[in-house]
Structure 1
């Protein structure tokens, strides 16, 4: 079964009941076929964040393309009395036939950025709200956390290892966007299978405890994986563990891993011990409840790589991106919500990012789609075509393309925008013609 069919098998009922209630009512009163535009955006960034990262877009397109109501889904809706026969008949023939534009995956965004534009009939677009938001809110939150960690690591190796701290499908999605954001590898083998992401991993404390001695465990692992492996040295006494690791593997040991204690102090001591034993090329990898702040604090220590789990897959304190999916246009007429603190801007929009000649971004300008603003010498449009008549356009950027896109986007932000401290968004969003 392919990744697409795996997702499609459970996608259709990722629909809130109120969406189907609106659908049934619109079918009944004749408004279901009105041409509409919905937009995804966020009113604010999570507390403490200065930029967001678009993650999960490829999964969103996959979900939309494969969004179907099969016999099992229709039977469930009928037996629960969610909708009547006429709506069930309409759902049985459902597929999205509209158009989607949006920010490419790996692009950074800010409050008010028009991240996704979904255009079609009200009926076909309204039922997509939950599935679109569930993927984008999760994956973008993880991508933003991962990008902050990658910035803090400053080029050092990062391994995603959070699968045991989240839902099994979230684990795969998290590994994917962690790689997008600059992580080197994941321990999740399903992510490696689906997305071609490099995988890495050796042994846990259980393997050492299984054997009668730490030496026996190390000898077994080296016999299987070779001297280039990474040995976990802190099951018992870390000093003895390092000595045993070099004695067993030799000075060509690939790396040691430290998973507990004050890893900064222990890394310094480990480096001194390794060097004293002649293992100058043996790397030091640390893990254990790391987040971007802990990684930044270790920047001056002799650490060569980080294993990150819980903080990554939970968004490092921001598990959602607070994105919303709002109707902004009906039959070409702008519509907008005016509720207190939840206002929206009517009409479909396009976004331009403006830069200094040096390449530093200075603002994000959002215009009505019909405005067609002229680009300056250092400006660029942000949205790209994604779906046309319900099908993906040709030559969409790959995961590797988008990985590079994010690297370039982060380099373009003012240096203040990369700080881990609280502050304003890295660049302002302006609405010149609204």
Structure 2
């Protein structure tokens, strides 16, 4: 394994110092259960969307320490020789259960359950949290944007507003949430997401006149292309665009100004010129609230950048990773939990289902401690097996994840689709069945 392929150092120093201490006092091999969950929904959101499971499982498979990683740890004095030797042989051999991508989560939902020895589970904390906190925040924001957009497509175009690796992950999360395409080519190559894009203002400014720029683009890409019409004077640009491409011009893009009034005037002008099928796409710092404000405007699609890749002001999901059960001296499992201040957690291995009524409407998030909650036949089990004895046993396509989210959202009451801050749409109910 090369250093560039390993994910083992995408972690915090303290995970390895805990490992060293546990190896030294003999507790490293204790059977343990860790749980990844959110105590509350960040940003007053009404639901959360799980995304990043596939990426996390890929990262887990690459969690190996090769010679380069071990040499650096030893040289930096991070841990002792015994720990270095242990890490050199590290392979995760435990099990992982979790909510599949596209599933909804609520406060205390056991989104991921990692089970194995303390040593092999504790060092996965930061890797799993970094992936799921980011991707689920993006997917949750994207889902709200899709709700606001209705039947109009959204395009992810935020690569220039975030870290280059985060841009690819954000495009993937947005696609799970229902975005139609991305501008990011690496996301297209890596994840098979449709890509799209035409031109920026620089292309117009490159040419002596706007007409010359439009003619060049239409010659290269055909009349079905989308022309950017707000570099100079919009009405003049619309007239020129239709003259150059004809009434079959594919689309125009607006990237500035009062988008509601502009969309109306542009639509009228296009129709008057005979370009009744030309689509209007708007961009310009859109978020779910701006998209909702455009609902009555004659817009055909939205391009979303900064707000999407930053979670629309909520860039993390607030997930934590806590030990909830471990073997005692007699080998029996003991529930453990943090009890400090407002960071209380609930001990015990969890099981979860979505309680549904006879019409298939979601009523509650029900969590069983120690055993699965009672299912009356209408309820839906949420946890699926992801890893068994260290081997990945779950895969899902992005299309399957998109469908899962659509189905999960359809179970919720209509109030879940409101954009204002609120309590979670579903209550979380515990059933202690140990």
Q: State TM-score, norm by structure 1.
A: 0.97
The answer for unaligned runs of 5 or more in structure 1 is none
Answering whether residue 423 of structure 2 is matched by residue 427 of structure 1, we say no
Contact 2:3–2:66 under 8 Å retained in 1 = no
Alpha-carbon offset, residue 75 of structure 1: 1.4
How many aligned residue pairs are there?
Answer: 428
1:242-391 matches, within 5 Å, as 242-331=238-327, 332-369=333-370, 371-391=371-391
Alpha-carbon offset, residue 335 of structure 1: 0.8
User: Separation in 2 of the partners of 1:160 and 1:150?
Assistant: 11
Equivalent residue, structure 2, for 1:218: 214
User: Separation in 2 of the partners of 1:157 and 1:200?
Assistant: 12
Equivalent residue, structure 2, for 1:111: 107
1:159-170 matches, within 5 Å, as 159-170=155-166
User: Separation in 2 of the partners of 1:276 and 1:299?
Assistant: 22
Contact 1:7–1:63 under 8 Å retained in 2 = no
Answering whether residue 229 of structure 2 is matched by residue 233 of structure 1, we say yes
Alpha-carbon offset, residue 8 of structure 1: 6.7
User: Separation in 2 of the partners of 1:358 and 1:265?
Assistant: 42
User: Separation in 2 of the partners of 1:251 and 1:391?
Assistant: 57
SS in 2 for 1:256: strand
Alpha-carbon offset, residue 249 of structure 1: 0.3
User: Separation in 2 of the partners of 1:316 and 1:245?
Assistant: 33
Alpha-carbon offset, residue 149 of structure 1: 0.2
Equivalent residue, structure 2, for 1:206: 202
1:117-132 matches, within 5 Å, as 117-132=113-128
Contact 1:350–1:368 under 8 Å retained in 2 = yes
- Residues 290-326 of structure 1, C-alpha deviations (whole Å, 9 max, x = no match): 0000000100100000000000000001000000000
Alpha-carbon offset, residue 47 of structure 1: 2.2
1:115-194 matches, within 5 Å, as 115-194=111-190
- Residues 59-108 of structure 1, C-alpha deviations (whole Å, 9 max, x = no match): 00111111011111111111111001110011111111110000000101
Contact 2:365–2:426 under 8 Å retained in 1 = yes
Alpha-carbon offset, residue 387 of structure 1: 0.4
Shifted more, 264-273 versus 349-358: the winner is: 349-358
Residues 8 and 140 from structure 1, CA distance in 2 versus in 1: closer, same or farther, beyond 3 angstroms?
farther
Alpha-carbon offset, residue 7 of structure 1: 10
1:26-175 matches, within 5 Å, as 26-175=22-171
Alpha-carbon offset, residue 26 of structure 1: 0.5
Alpha-carbon offset, residue 10 of structure 1: 4.6
User: Separation in 2 of the partners of 1:8 and 1:120?
Assistant: 27
User: Separation in 1 of the partners of 2:29 and 2:432?
Assistant: 30
SS in 1 for 2:403: helix
User: Separation in 1 of the partners of 2:115 and 2:121?
Assistant: 7
Alpha-carbon offset, residue 432 of structure 1: 2.5
Runs of 4+ in 1 over 4 A off after TM superposition: 5-8
Contact 1:335–1:347 under 8 Å retained in 2 = yes
User: Separation in 1 of the partners of 2:420 and 2:387?
Assistant: 38
Residues 61 and 387 from structure 1, CA distance in 2 versus in 1: closer, same or farther, beyond 3 angstroms?
same
SS in 1 for 2:253: strand
User: Separation in 2 of the partners of 1:248 and 1:373?
Assistant: 65
Q: State TM-score, norm by structure 2.
A: 0.97
